[in-house]
């Protein structure tokens, strides 16, 4: 009880002093390593970086693995893996030889070797810049001669927030596309005007937000129309919301180890999971033991959390999502499909050739088979036909002979037929079975889980090729079961329960 009260007092103290933080950071610049007008750095393998006074952070060019392309970024500089916390040009990487310069007129600009502008900050105040500085908080600032802030990276977060950083209703976090692809992904963290902290997918490039898959249930009922709420990540490692009514809602769960011994960061991962990590500040006995470890994450099951009918879902179209042993999503393509981008399993799947409706005199069973997937369903992918009182064989055959059908799902005697693309596929421990229509030639011999006599309505297959391709029985340990136990937590955060689903 005592520790809880101390935490609340600490939250309240930061709330009262938050408006002074930015000003104090700039005012105390005498202890910073100020970057003077005319300074520059060039993108190369051994390029210099601008460091914070403590050396905890560095600002400079991060080389993309295996490429002569660079990201202008801020990273933790004292730990071995140099983890990135902010980047300027994720959608427009800088080629080798590009230059970042703080010009003599105060303009900060990134140009490629041909002089083309790749990035420049949008200044929030129409006053001259006298110097730049990377603070010990990881915040890169531009300041005037009287140390007033002109621009700061904390006002333009990417996928990560750091202790002392504040997110209001005008800011958001966006995931990157993949672990080593820093273009904008399709997951987003927002503090919306009613006081809820939400995670949602959104459309690219328009930015249209889809239904949230997590929210904090922190509506400020006393001031429902006032947008003064803020998300604060304090120096002790706690993430919380301060409501307009001064109510404090803790978002953090798990054990928070002393911040003096650990670095903290909260990141919206490229798989859509919001995660807080901690990392030892110094090696033990001269050796680094372990790396970043998870303090907490939300939602607990990203595969099941996304309930909306629109958008890519967790794994993209024509795929399904399963949790791995670490509770993170593992994306699988439908049988007969391949990843659209082999380097990024979250961008969905496609198949070649495309399913044909004009088969001339060929019977569908000569070209296609229905591949069963136990307990894999697409509950939020729209059905174009729903037929009652059909068993699994009848449902499977109905899809096989329907040129529009790609996936059929039988549950409780009802057959649900779906067209391409299907979305939000996932595993559910309920009675029923899914069937995917696949070209017989696209499945390796012996990979069909049942014999020709068990396919369709029991007709003899007229194609010798399909008989040879289907004769071998295969038993497959195709699925790994990964479950996360939902535990009641002593804070106000709840995962939203879905509306009635579509099978």
51 and 133 assigned to the same domain: yes
CATH number of the domain encompassing residue 432: 3.50.4.10
The count of C-alpha atoms lying within 13 angstroms of the C-alpha of 270, restricted to the half-sphere facing its C-beta, is 16
- Residue 233: is it exposed, middle or buried by C-beta count within 10 angstroms (0-12/13-18/19+)? buried
3-state secondary structure 214-263: EECCCCCCCCCCCCCCEEEECCCCCEEEECCCCCEEECCCCCCCCCCCEE
Domain count, the chain: 3
Same domain, 294 and 356: no
| Together in a domain, 191 and 113 | no
Positive or negative: CA dihedral 369, 370, 373, 374: negative
- Do residues 268 and 222 share a domain? yes
What does the alpha-carbon distance between residue 170 and residue 108 come to, in Å, rounded to a whole number?
A: 24
Quick one: CA dihedral 145, 147, 153, 156, positive or negative? negative
Final residue of a domain: which of 442, 466, 494?
A: 442
Residues 332 and 428 in one domain: yes
CATH number at residue 82: 2.90.10.10
What sign does the CA torsion over 340, 342, 345, 347 have? negative
180 DSSP 8-state letter: T
Sequence-ordered list of residues with C-beta below 8 angstroms from that of 165, at least 6 positions apart, any chain: 137, 139, 154, 157, 232, 233
Same domain for 351 and 280? no
Whether residue 201 is contained in a domain is answered as yes
pLDDT value, residue 381: 83
User: Which residue pairs, CB below 8 angstroms and at least 24 apart, start in 388-392?
Assistant: 388/413, 388/414, 388/415, 389/413, 389/414, 390/414, 390/415, 392/433
The answer to the question of residue 345 being in a domain is yes
pLDDT for 32? 56
Mind listing the pLDDT tens digit for each residue in 146-156?
988 999 999 99
How much is the pTM? 0.80
pLDDT the model gives residue 443: 56
The reply to whether 174 and 250 lie within a common domain is yes
25 domain residue, yes or no: no
Yes or no: say if 253 and 247 are a contact pair by the CB < 8 Å rule: no
Same domain, 161 and 280: yes
Q: In what order do the strands lie in the sheet with 262-268?
A: 160-161, 262-268, 274-280, 293-298
Give the chain's end-to-end CA distance (angstroms, integer). 45
d(CA 418, CA 435): 10
Give the pLDDT confidence score for residue 258 in this predicted structure.
Answer: 82
Q: Which of 153, 185, 201 is the last residue of a domain?
A: 153
Q: What phi and psi values does residue 457 have, to the nearest 5 degrees?
A: -95, 15
489 to 1, 242, 349: CA distances (angstroms) = 16, 19, 37
Do residue 96 and residue 217 come from a single domain?
Answer: no
For the residues of 6-71, what is the DSSP string, one character each?
HHHHHHHHHHHHHHHHHHHHHHGGGGS--EETT-EEE-STT---EE-TTSSEEEEEEEPTTSSEEE
- The H or E element that residue 397 is part of is helix 392-400
- Domain check: are 162 and 284 in the same one? yes
In a domain, 146, yes or no: yes
Q: Is residue 310 in a domain?
A: no
74 neighbors 153 (Cβ within 8 angstroms):
yes
Full domain range(s) for residue 354: 326-442
Say whether both 45 and 140 belong to one domain: yes
Pair 244, 286 in one domain: yes
Does some domain include residue 480?
no
Per-residue pLDDT of the chain (503 residues; tens, 9 = 90+): 444 444 444 444 444 444 434 444 444 433 458 999 999 999 999 899 999 999 999 999 999 988 999 999 999 999 998 999 999 999 999 999 999 999 999 999 999 999 999 999 987 666 789 999 999 999 999 999 998 899 999 999 999 999 999 999 889 999 999 999 999 999 999 998 888 899 999 888 888 888 999 989 888 777 766 666 899 999 999 999 988 777 888 888 877 878 888 999 999 999 999 999 999 998 887 888 778 999 999 999 999 999 877 888 889 999 999 999 888 999 999 988 999 999 899 999 998 776 767 766 778 888 888 999 888 888 878 889 999 989 999 999 999 999 889 999 998 889 999 998 998 898 887 778 899 999 887 655 444 443 333 444 433 333 333 333 333 333 333 333 333 333 333 333 333 333 333 45
* Contact indicator for 404, 451 with CB cutoff of 8 Å: no
Residue 308 domain flag: no
Determine, yes or no, domain membership for 98. Answer: yes
Handedness of CA 142, 147, 149, 153 (dihedral sign): positive
Name the domain boundary from 421, 442, 463: 442
Q: Which residues contact 454 (CB under 8 A, 6 or more apart)?
A: none
């Amino acid at each position: 009880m005592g520790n809880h009260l101390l935490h609340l007092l600490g939250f309240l103290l930061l709330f009262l002093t938050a408006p002074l933080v930015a000003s104090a950071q700039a005012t105390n610049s005498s202890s910073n390593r100020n970057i003077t007008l005319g300074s520059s750095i060039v993108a190369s393998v051994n390029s210099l970086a601008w460091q914070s006074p403590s050396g905890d952070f560095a600002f400079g060019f991060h080389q993309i693995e295996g490429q002569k392309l660079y990201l202008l970024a801020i990273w933790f500089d004292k730990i071995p893996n140099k983890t990135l916390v902010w980047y300027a040009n994720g959608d427009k990487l800088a080629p080798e030889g590009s230059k970042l310069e703080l010009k003599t007129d105060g303009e900060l600009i990134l140009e490629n070797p041909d002089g083309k502008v790749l990035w420049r900050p949008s200044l929030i105040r129409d006053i001259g810049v006298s110097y730049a500085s990377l603070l010990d908080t990881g915040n890169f600032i531009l300041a005037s001669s009287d140390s007033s802030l002109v621009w700061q990276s904390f006002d333009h977060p990417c996928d990560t927030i750091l202790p002392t950083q504040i997110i209001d209703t005008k800011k958001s976090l966006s995931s990157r596309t993949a672990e080593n692809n820093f273009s904008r992904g399709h997951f987003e963290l927002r503090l919306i005007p009613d006081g809820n902290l939400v995670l949602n997918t959104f459309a690219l490039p328009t930015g249209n937000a889809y239904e949230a898959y997590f929210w904090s249930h922190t509506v400020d009922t006393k001031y429902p129309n006032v947008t003064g709420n803020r998300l604060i990540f304090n120096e002790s490692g706690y993430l919380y919301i301060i409501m307009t009514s001064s109510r404090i809602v803790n978002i953090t769960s798990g054990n928070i180890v002393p911040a003096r011994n650990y670095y903290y960061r909260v990141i919206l991962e490229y798989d859509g999971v919001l995660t807080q990590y901690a990392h030892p500040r110094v090696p033990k006995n001269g050796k680094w033991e372990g790396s970043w470890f998870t303090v907490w994450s939300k939602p607990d099951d990203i595969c099941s959390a996304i309930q909306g009918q629109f958008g890519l879902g967790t794994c993209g179209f024509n795929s399904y999502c399963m949790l791995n042993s670490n509770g993170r999503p593992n994306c699988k393509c439908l049988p007969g499909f391949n990843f659209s981008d082999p380097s990024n399993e979250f961008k969905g799947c496609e198949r070649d050739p495309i399913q044909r409706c004009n088969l001339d005199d060929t019977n569908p069973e000569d070209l296609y088979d229905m591949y069963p997937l136990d307990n894999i369903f697409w509950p939020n992918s729209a059905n174009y036909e729903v037929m009652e009182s059909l068993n699994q064989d009848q449902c499977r055959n109905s899809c096989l002979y329907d040129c529009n059908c790609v996936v059929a799902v039988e549950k409780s005697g009802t057959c649900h037929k779906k067209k391409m693309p299907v979305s939000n596929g996932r595993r559910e421990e309920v009675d029923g079975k899914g069937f995917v229509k696949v070209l017989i030639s696209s499945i390796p011999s012996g990979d069909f889980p049942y014999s020709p006599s068990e396919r369709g309505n029991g007709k003899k297959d007229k194609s010798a090729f399909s008989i040879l391709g289907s004769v071998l029985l295969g038993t497959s340990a195709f699925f790994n079961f990964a479950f996360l136990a939902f535990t009641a937590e002593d804070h106000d955060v709840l995962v939203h329960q879905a509306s009635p689903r579509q099978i």
